[in-house]
Chains A and B, each alone.
Chain A
Amino acid sequence: MTTPSLLGLPLAWLGAFFVAPIVIVALYSFNVYALFPGPHGFTFDAWRSFAHNHVYLRLFWKSTQMSLVVSVIIVLLAYPVAYYLALSGTKRKYILLLLLIAPFLTSYLLRVLAWKVILGDQGVVNSFLFWTHLRSPEHPLSQLLYSRFAVMLVLGYIWLPFVALPIFVSLESLDRRLLEAASDLGASRLRAFWAVTLPLSLPGVIAAFFFVFIPTLGEFVTPSLVGGATGYMYGNQIVDLFGTGFPDWETGSVLALFLIGVVAVLTIAFSRFLQPQQVAAE
């Protein structure tokens, strides 16, 4: 088979159902297409008001901060886990790796559900505190659910196993002879870690950060289920603009394209650290 006949179908599929839809979003953002019949034609109005109306940009910044905090914390937590699996010489490392990854491969919504059950005012944590008289039922820990904290906890919980993968892959491929050389030359383990292991595993760390930062930035399911008002994120705003209440597809399209733009820039900036085997290594 020739190359065009192999690639024709996959590329046509992506052209029609991936590239074209994004072009349509752009056309809506410039009011070339519009939800409601009426006067429309090419304008920058929605883009202009997006740039001047700080509500959306401030919300985007808030979501960025939340994603950053979650990503940094779970990368820091995942590093020692990956280090243990890759370098401690345990014989069961692939079984332990599977144990770590398995929750990630189960239903996303059900893992959110678990935290709803745990964190609610009547939930597992609070009812346990009442039952053991550590807290009176009139005063539950009410900030647990429907808060920014809840969103960040649940997002961290969901992505933690996944983040360990790229770090594991980079530590696994580390040449142990380099560490032996460092040790022969008199370096302590700590020194060898700072001078050899950490720099060599940095591409994996950066990829891990990227793989959690990107999806959490556009998150809307978790905040809508456990976030309440303070956990509201940029993604929720986009959904609301396309929702059934007061749809504004023009503004919504601007917000959506802005998010794609940021993700595209980050992807290009991070691309030299991203390798396919980091996500395929199961």
Chain B
Amino acid sequence: MTDVALSRNGALVLRGFFALVIAFLYAPIVILLIFSFNNSEIPSFPLSGFTLHWYHEFIVNGDLRAALRTSALIAAATSVGAVCLGVLASLALVRRAFRAKPLVSALLLSPLVIPYLVFGIALLLLFHTLGVPNGALTVVIGHIVISLPYTILVLVPRLEQIDASLEEAAYDLGASRLRTFRSITLPLILPAVVSALLIAFTTSFDEYAVASFLVGPSTTFPIYLYSALRFPSQLPQVIAVAVVVLIVSLTVVVAAEAGRRIAEHRVGVL
């Protein structure tokens, strides 16, 4: 193969380098997997036998299950809230012309760059000043802010691909704006809506910094993990949880990506 971008040897070297990088990225995950089955309190060599004890420990650990449930609820509320706001904002950005558009889109995307630590503190001060008690609700409020730009980044390109004349035709034929949205726009952007929901869900489910300032008495999964990381006795159990969560999230990511490609392929790019 002669190629303008890469010689045959160059391609081989780069392929080797790529393999090394992948090995570097996955080795720690594989090591966690191995030690999650290791029959010892301390994750160290030599391996001392196979056990499912740590998996059993975490399944019967009520605190951990409660933290997972809290995180799932917060993430579900966040994803619905962020996607609703994201759809509204994306429709305005793509379908409407207004003078302040560059400014508005900069504001809508600015939570992408704010350090989460500073944002968490800022919300803490706001709620403290207003006398609002911390809890799951305050975490959801913060998580919607940080997830909103991600939903817009997924929704806007999809909306741009859809011909606005389809919506205009429906409107001309007497459908209300709402009806037009429900029967024309929404079905066409559905794959992107699902992606946006998933992205907002995973952003919230994994978020520690903002939640740590706002969570109050309840515990989310990242907060549980963070404190467990400080107690060595809980380490093997946490490793077992880690393996389950990593495998579930890798599976969801791959499935979502495959699903989106299939769905967009079927709907077709209009």
Q: Which of B197-249 contact A (CB under 8 A)?
A: 202, 206, 208-209, 213, 222, 225-226, 229, 235, 238-239, 242, 245-246, 249
Q: Which of B90-122 contact A (CB under 8 A)?
A: 91-92, 96, 98, 104, 107-119, 121-122
B169 within 8 A of A: no
Query: For the complex, what is the distance from the CA of A197 to the CA of B84, rounded to whole Å?
Result: 41
Q: Which residues on the B side are within 8 Å of A25 (C-beta)?
A: 118, 121-122, 125
Given contacts A14-B145, A88-B15, A179-B5, A103 and B42 within 8 Å (CB-CB)? no
B270 within 8 A of A: no
Query: For the complex, what is the distance from the CA of A160 to the CA of B246, rounded to whole Å?
Result: 18
Which of A39-47, A54-62, A142-150, A218-226 contacts its partner?
A218-226
Query: For the complex, what is the distance from the CA of A261 to the CA of B11, rounded to whole Å?
Result: 44
Q: In the complex the two chains form, is B246's CB within 8 Å of A87's CB? A: no
Residue count of chain B within 8 Å CB distance of chain A: 89
B165 within 8 A of A: no
Q: Which residue of B lies closest to A242 (CB)?
A: B121
Q: Which residues on the B side are within 8 Å of A225 (C-beta)?
A: 226, 229
| Number of inter-chain CB pairs below 8 Å | 255
Q: In the complex the two chains form, is A124's CB within 8 Å of B126's CB? A: no
Given contacts A80-B17, A249-B125, A259 and B118 within 8 Å (CB-CB)? yes
* Other-chain contact of B31, A80, A114, A253, A280 (Cβ < 8 Å): A114
Q: Which residue of B lies closest to A6 (CB)?
A: B92
Q: In the complex the two chains form, is B18's CB within 8 Å of A238's CB? A: no
* Other-chain contact of A105, B118, B153, B239, B249 (Cβ < 8 Å): B249
Q: In the complex the two chains form, is B26's CB within 8 Å of A103's CB? A: yes
Residue interface bits A25-67, CB-to-B below 8 A is 1, else 0: 1001000010000000000000000000000000000000000
Q: Which residue of B lies closest to A225 (CB)?
A: B229
Residue interface bits A241-262, CB-to-B below 8 A is 1, else 0: 0100000010011001001100
Q: A109-B229, A252-B121 are in contact. List 7 more A-B contacts (CB 8 A).
A: A14-B108, A18-B145, A114-B31, A182-B4, A220-B209, A260-B115, A280-B157
Secondary structure of the B contact surface, majority rule: helix
Q: Which residue of A lies closest to B154 (CB)?
A: A280
Residue count of chain A within 8 Å CB distance of chain B: 91
Q: In the complex the two chains form, is B222's CB within 8 Å of A123's CB? A: no
Q: Which residue of A lies closest to B252 (CB)?
A: A105
Could you list some 10 contacts between A and B, CB below 8 A?
A3-B98, A10-B85, A88-B3, A107-B242, A127-B45, A157-B25, A225-B226, A256-B117, A259-B118, A276-B156
B159 within 8 A of A: no
Query: For the complex, what is the distance from the CA of A181 to the CA of B244, rounded to whole Å?
Result: 51
Q: Which residues on the B side are within 8 Å of A116 (C-beta)?
A: 229
Q: In the complex the two chains form, is B117's CB within 8 Å of A220's CB? A: yes
Q: In the complex the two chains form, is A6's CB within 8 Å of B96's CB? A: yes
B162 within 8 A of A: no
**Shortest CB–CB separation between residue B152 and chain A, in angstroms?**
8
Q: In the complex the two chains form, is A117's CB within 8 Å of B6's CB? A: no
Q: Which residues on the A side are within 8 Å of B111 (C-beta)?
A: 14, 18
A229 within 8 A of B: no
Q: In the complex the two chains form, is A192's CB within 8 Å of B4's CB? A: yes
A77 within 8 A of B: yes
Q: In the complex the two chains form, is B245's CB within 8 Å of A106's CB? A: yes
Query: For the complex, what is the distance from the CA of A71 to the CA of B86, rounded to whole Å?
Result: 30
